[in-house]
Structure 1
Amino acid sequence: MPEKSTVSEAVSSGDRRTALVALRDALAADIDNPETLPRDRAAIVKQLQSVLSQIEDITAPESETVTPLEAARRRRETRTA
């Protein structure tokens, strides 16, 4: 299993997917932290949903052509989830 890097290290790598995965892990850790206030947790969950969507977009098979309308629909579903 690859060693986890900090968000700063991941961003410095220049690889967008690596940076998003590190951000995903950091957000998940913040959600799990018992010291995180409930109002903050809600905002973090929303950010995590966005990051997960971006990771999915990057790793989606290239054979799947997503129209602009479908991309907008997916973004709307992510925001309302």
Structure 2
Amino acid sequence: MPTYQLDKWRSANWQRGNRFYRCEITQDLFGNWLVVRRWGAIDSRRWGSKDEVCTDYAEAQKLFGAVVKRREKRQYIRV
């Protein structure tokens, strides 16, 4: 049975104009670490998502940090 570490789960939301971006560190049913990304436009039904399985929590943190840096570079505002 997998052990879930809910205290390590993280999420962040950004917005720029009518565009949004969300990134999360979570675990799946098997206890694997995931980085889940979702993006799109607020006023339309167009959106996308990407789920990446990481080998460990450190890798998930590194990927999450890269997403944060990229959103800031592209002038998204954290909400």
User: What is the TM-score when the length of structure 1 is the normalising length?
Assistant: 0.28
* Structure with the higher strand share, 1 or 2: 2
* Structure with the higher helix share, 1 or 2: 1
Higher relative contact order (CA 8 A, sep 6+): 2
User: What is the TM-score when the length of structure 2 is the normalising length?
Assistant: 0.29
